[in-house]
Structure 1
């Protein structure tokens, strides 16, 4: 966060075009990078709303987005309808997001509006860099909702299939795309990712959406098989091949015939197993332990690892040709700390499973809008700040413990042990910025007409913000406007001019402001005096 300014009461400024160099810079950035600012609900008093999103791509076009209790709507990708925040503790006075002057995006909060904190510090006027949005900025709104300000894909279409994976982060969208590209092919797949990221889930999705979905899916964890038995377990063994082999053993490869064999922790395969795996991949044949006759196999092989196999190769623990064969196509799973916008939806999903098991699913949809949120904002913030070394597996386990440990209570409570666990590995939070240097005060007579018009357009005809930007007293802004003949006030417009513009803009107040170039608040008052209805923020 690069700056924090004075606690000024903000009036609605609408969605207006900004013809400034800042707007041009933002538009250039948008064309170069399809990731746009977005707000994702991590927690909400209605817990089932976690994961809904509001794209702030209008900001990259030089416009503002006003967020209040009544709008805009948060939606899920691909869904045509959504809902506003609609919490009675969130003010109707908007939180305004606009292009940044020194940073990437600016957030302004009115003094009489909703209380917003970042990193436990109250903010009123601040800017965030692109790097901060890439990492994600948690916003505590009214002490009841937690939003993540982050970068998201412009893609708003729902995926053709979620493939059994929750989340709409760019990382998980890419994983889905990889699965859809590779599912109907027969090439081996190597799934890489940290422990607990869901590698077996990816393997199952490839199997279930490919031509082998009617065949068996066999999952084997090579790290859990004693090394001396690994070859027999995988490739089978003939009776008498080794001590204890009292009968023929089929092996996992033959059990998976016509289907998919998933080998987890493939980096733990013993050397002799690596040699046998390489032969199967190269020839499509295997030799059971103790056998001399090759057996044809028809198996789709998917391997997974959380190890650095290249390092294993350098150390002589893994064979380079085997890695080349296994990685016919690689899929990398992002760790949970890199897809924090998915945390709310994932936690809600795991918590709902536990709540349904104990008969308390009603906790997710409270009837009283004034009730304390079932997932307190303080806990949601802890979830966002935690680094999740165990990834999704760890999140599932923590959700289970939280739900069961709070059984019968109206809200979730952290016991000391869980609270301590969430403090052991914490990601860095954006620093709270220092207030910007004050704008040098000037005499109103020093302001040129061109300078005034540029400032008015930059601040969407908000007269108070324009005066602050120019460094002149707010009380003199009207005198400055009146002094310049090419800049008008809404009070000088004729009824015919307003009525004609209202008709041409179909009642869109924002469009009328852009066309007439007058204060939105003052124009809105004139429209009400004339009995003309409007639409727009």
Structure 2
């Protein structure tokens, strides 16, 4: 096969528009590289920002901490680091493995990381298959990143098409829409139900020379079969029972503009014949009429059906498919563009809050608890989304309305169960490449302490347990063999210990500055509960300058 033909076959759709986006040389063709995309962040508008890990392909490594490197919105000129004070300055280190995967190392004392529900200890390797599927990483229970593959070169495509998202597949749809927008050729849009096919059709219309003309949207699946021809092509008075006046028809209503026919695979046989004729001649025959009527219409059709299979079953005419598919655009399902889920959710949430008159809830959220809770963000990223973007929008509306009057978003148990029921498999368990401490044989393991009475715990034991667990309340309670409520009670009664409530604003502020916002260092110095101290820092609005 000649090289040119091979290239055209590999690239499914040829660029036939003289007004298309600039072509790139073979050296500039984008290749997929590992990337990190923000799904949830304490500053909501940062959802969708991305960090490309392209240097891993050359054998290097990438270190990510709260101070760098910058995450940038695709197509944007400037970015900024994660910049959350609850993340450690000690970086997460990403490296390439010999098998083409990614190794993530967490330094001791660094930011806590979860892979879905599993805490990451030491290091973990992700296979190429896992990268292709996308892996949610939760940092310090505040930021959710998606580790996935993204194009190394982003095409310079206008973002004014009304399509939300910056995944590779979304940008590919933008590119295809821009290429064909100024032409009159028919366009066939394929994609699953709820994936946004009509949005693509409207984007093509709005960037075409016909933008000032009408855009008529018709769902063929919703038209009664016996009336479909009359609805599309018009009808003369008396052409059928109940026809008391002339009917214009959708084709003539769209004259000078665009007609969008959704679910074209459901068109009855007689309608298919008439569609083929209007595509060939530019004329329609109204039902009951004897003279053709010329129409100037750009036809865009869409389907979620396998038209080739319907042709094999004699349910769809092959010549009609060839006519409709002057140019094809494939709209991806939401599960194939998981890096768009965070920005889509925030977009829909903003629309719902604006309708409720509560947009300030999203605009004012910053440096506090993440507005989109990490657990909910992970559930959404892992969900299979059979209803695609339409389902995400509906779910967003339910969550926003169900959270009215609450300080943050909260999904109901039913929604959580729905998301968990159709989730992708949890990634494999971590590979502990750097275990914190060697495990002793089972016979030498210390038995777990039996349950004790709080009154049996001395003040010295209490202090040693808290210091030995870096003031981790749960771990200290387990070491002492008491419950956490009992531990809190002992701390309150201890003459040697303080609680967060005993600390003055000046003491916390001074310690925050001296420790440069390192929460672990502050806990060691002040000897108070980490969670309680974290809460006070948020209340005081302390951020590292």
Corresponding residue for residue 273 of structure 1: 271
Residue in 1 that maps onto 2:336: 338
Task: Report the CA distance between 1:343 and its aligned residue.
Answer: 0.5
Whole-angstrom distance in 1 between the partners of 2:231 and 2:397: 34
Question: Are the aligned partners of 2:348 and 2:393 in contact in 1 as well (CA < 8 Å)?
Answer: yes
| Residue segments in structure 2 that go unaligned for 5+ positions in a row | 1-26, 436-545
1:238 aligned to which of 225, 236, 255: 236
Kept in 1, the 8 Å contact 2:345–2:392? The answer is: yes
1:297 corresponds in structure 2 to 295
Tell me how far 1:363 sits from its aligned partner.
2.7
Equivalent residue number for residue 214 of structure 2: 216
Alpha-carbon shift at residue 121 of structure 1 (Å): 1.4
8 Å contact kept, 1:44–1:50:
yes
Query: Would the alpha carbon gap of residues 31 and 298 (structure 1) be closer, same or farther in structure 2, given more than 3 Å must change?
Result: closer
Q: Does 1:399 align with 2:413?
A: no
* Structure-2 separation of matches of 1:436 and 1:328: 54
Superposition deviation, residue 305 in structure 1: 0.3
CA deviations on 1:287-317 (whole Å, 9 max, x unpaired) are 1000111111111100000011111111121
The residue that corresponds to 1:259 in the other structure is: 257
| Paired position in structure 2 for 1:389 | 386
Q: What whole-Å deviation, never above 9, does each CA across 1:177-233 have from its counterpart, x for those lacking one?
A: 111111111111100000011101111111111111111110000111111110000
Q: Give distance in 2, aligned partners of 1:236 and 1:131.
A: 53
TM-aligned CA deviation for residue 365 of structure 1: 4.2
Give the C-alpha shift of residue 346 in structure 1.
Answer: 0.3
TM-score normalized by the length of structure 2: 0.72
Shift of 1:34: 1.1
Q: Is 1:91 aligned with 2:88?
A: yes
Partner residue of 2:521? Answer: none
Distance in 1 of aligned mates of 2:318 and 2:81: 54
- Is the Cα–Cα contact under 8 Å of residues 118 and 138 in structure 1 kept in the other structure? yes
Runs of 4+ in 1 over 3 A off after TM superposition: 30-33, 365-368, 433-438
Partners of 2:331 and 2:170 in 1: CA distance: 8
Quote the offset at 1:415 in angstroms.
Answer: 1.0
1:381-460 equivalence runs, <5 A: 381-435=378-432
Q: Contact conserved, 1:77 with 1:158, CA < 8 A, in 2?
A: no
Secondary structure at the counterpart of residue 242 of structure 1? coil
Residue 99 of structure 1 and its aligned partner are, at CA, apart by 2.2
In angstroms, what is the RMSD of aligned CA positions?
1.8
Deviation of the 1:32 alpha carbon: 9.2
| CA deviation vs aligned residue, 1:315-352 (integer Å, no higher than 9, x gap) | 12111111111111110000000000000000000001
Q: Hey, what's the Cα distance between the residues in 2 that align with 1:266 and 1:367?
A: 44
Q: Which residue of 2 aligns with 1:205?
A: 203
> 1:118 touches 1:137 (CA, 8 Å); kept in 2?
yes
- Compared with structure 1, are the counterparts of its residues 433 and 352 closer, same or farther at alpha carbon in structure 2 (3 Å cutoff)? same
CA distance in 2, matches of 1:434, 1:64: 19
In the TM superposition, what are the counterparts of 1:346-361 in structure 2 within 5 Å?
A: 346-361=344-359
State the match for 1:64 in structure 2: 61
Q: Which moved more, 1:106-115 or 1:94-103?
A: 94-103
Structure 1: how far apart are the matches of 2:106 and 2:45?
27
For 1:168 and 1:437, locate their aligned partners in 2 and report how far apart those are by CA, in whole Å: 36
Structure-1 residue corresponding to 2:129: 131
1:264: how far off? 0.3
Deviation at 1:31? 9.6
> Which residue matches 2:180?
182
Q: Is it true that 1:307 corresponds to 2:310 in the alignment?
A: no
Partner of 2:461: none
Q: Closer, same or farther in 2 for the Cα pair 1:216/1:32, shift >3 Å?
A: closer
Secondary structure, counterpart of 1:228 in structure 2: coil
- The Cα of 1:80 is off from its aligned counterpart by 2.0
Whether the aligned pair in 1 keeps the contact of 2:29 and 2:153 (CA below 8 Å) is: no
Aligned in 2, Cα 1:40/1:297: closer, same or farther, shift over 3 Å? same
The C-alpha deviation readout for 1:457-507, integer Å capped at 9, x for no partner, is xxxxxxxxxxxxxxxxxxxxxxxxxxxxxxxxxxxxxxxxxxxxxxxxxxx
Q: CA deviation at 1:394?
A: 0.4
In 2, the alpha carbon distance for the partners of 1:250 and 1:359 equals 41
Asked whether the equivalents of residues 44 and 365 of structure 2 are also in contact (C-alpha less than 8 Å), the reply is no
The number of residue pairs the alignment matches comes to 408
Secondary structure of 1:292's aligned partner: coil
Distance of aligned partners of 1:34 and 1:313 in 2 relative to their CA distance in 1, 3 Å threshold: same
Structure-2 separation of matches of 1:105 and 1:331: 32
Contact 1:387 1:427 in 2 (8 A): yes
Aligned to 2:374: 377
Would you say the 8 A contact 1:45–1:366 is kept in 2?
A: no
Structure 1: where are the runs of 5+ without partners? 1-29, 439-537
1:75-86 alignment to 2 at 5 Å? 75-86=72-83
Residue range with higher mean Cα deviation, 155-164 or 109-118: 155-164
Aligned residue in 2 for 1:12: none
What are the within-5 Å matches in structure 2 for residues 87-126 of structure 1?
87-123=84-120, 124-126=122-124
Q: Alpha-carbon deviation of 1:420?
A: 2.2
The TM-score with structure 1 as length reference comes to 0.73
